[in-house]
Amino acid sequence: MLLKAETLTEALPYIQKYEGRIFVVKYGGHAMGDAAKALEFAQDIVLLKTVGIHPVVVHGGGPQIGEMLSRVGVESQFIDGLRVTDAETAKIAEMVLGGSINKEIVRWIGNAGGRAVGLSGKDDRMVIARKLTRKRRDPGSMIEQEIDLGFVGEPVAVNRSVLDTLIADGIVPVIAPVALGENGDTYNVNADTMAGAIAGALDAARLMLLTDVPGVLAKDGSLLTDLHPAQVDALIADGTITGGMIPKLETCLSAIASGVGAAVILNGRTSHGLLLEIFTRQGAGTLVKSS
């Protein structure tokens, strides 16, 4: 697609603008389609690296974890888009995320002609997390109850040194959302949250969240192409944004607050959607930006 002369002319200013900058790309479990789509994603990542932008991939795998859990007869429950994670679930989540999905993405990028190294937050103690707590109040009650999500973590520190080494060596880091607790426990981290923490620590120009919808949709189904952080609370309160879209937008806001240039939520199954967003005037998806 980028080989057309007019497309290249349109892309050039963006290439110059972002040369040398880091783009954190979160590849969600729902965004992963068939083998052809996976190859397109990998080609886009390789193209970014080739033009001098440094992609860092953080992947999810919620549906794939769910499949494995049901195969072994373990049920799982979600609260506010987060999987309640007991010790057995944490083990299976780590196996699926760090074992099978991580290595598949590394393979795809390699097949597309790039260099990739897979790791999780545990490698080189890259991401340290603490137990995440959630509070809930029953309708009509004044008392807030703490909900125990088990081994669900929120990143509290990111050590970027191993990522800097890989990036400088021409390698795309591919990161599974598993982190190390301060006490040495293993924590399952929502992949959006993980991507946001890494984007913040790397001063990324963009955080790109690839999912299975075109972006944030209004109640009438139309795409909200631009969102200011101040609009998000109201969209959650009036029920426009629900489920997994809530942690996604919370992540966008905290990434922007920690210095990331902007965040984009877009459809990872659209052919070369990543390139359309970065290198064309029209873009793709929902851009969340302060000004």
Ligand X SMILES: CC(=O)N[C@@H](CCC(=O)OP(=O)(O)O)C(=O)O
Ligand Y SMILES: Nc1ncnc2c1ncn2[C@@H]1O[C@H](COP(=O)(O)OP(=O)(O)O)[C@@H](O)[C@H]1O
Nearest residue to ligand X on Cβ basis? 60
Helix (H) or strand (E) holding 166: helix 161-168
Residue ranges in the chain assigned as alpha helix (H):
5-18, 35-50, 62-71, 87-94, 102-111, 161-168, 191-201, 229-237, 245-257, 273-279
Q: What number of chain residues touch ligand Y (CB under 6 A)?
A: 20
Residue 65 CB, nearest approach to ligand Y (Å) = 11
For the chain, what is the radius of gyration of the CA atoms? 19
> How far is residue 101's CA from residue 191's CA, in Å, rounded to a whole number?
13
Among 38, 41, 54, 60, binds ligand Y (CB under 6 A): 60
Least distance (Å) between residue 286 CB and ligand Y: 8
State the pairing for strand pair 82-83/78-79: antiparallel
- Burial class, 143, CB count within 10 angstroms (exposed 0-12 / middle 13-18 / buried 19+): exposed
Which range, of 59-67, 166-174, 224-232, 266-274, touches ligand X by CB under 6 A? 59-67
**67 vs 182, beta carbon nearer ligand Y:** 67
Is position 83 an interface residue for ligand X (rule: CB under 6 A)? yes
Which option in ligand X, ligand Y, none does residue 109 bind, with CB closer than 5 to 8 A by kind? none
Instruction: Based on the shown chain and the rule CB under 6 A, indicate whether residue 176 belongs to the binding site for ligand X.
Output: no
Residue 249 in the binding site for ligand Y (CB under 6 A): no
Residue among 65, 175, 224, 255 that touches ligand X (CB under 6 A): 65
Helix or strand run (H / E) with residue 245: helix 245-257
Using the rule CB under 6 A, give the single segment among 47-55, 136-144, 244-252, 274-282 that binds ligand Y. 244-252
Binding-site residue ranges for substrate: 61-62, 83, 188
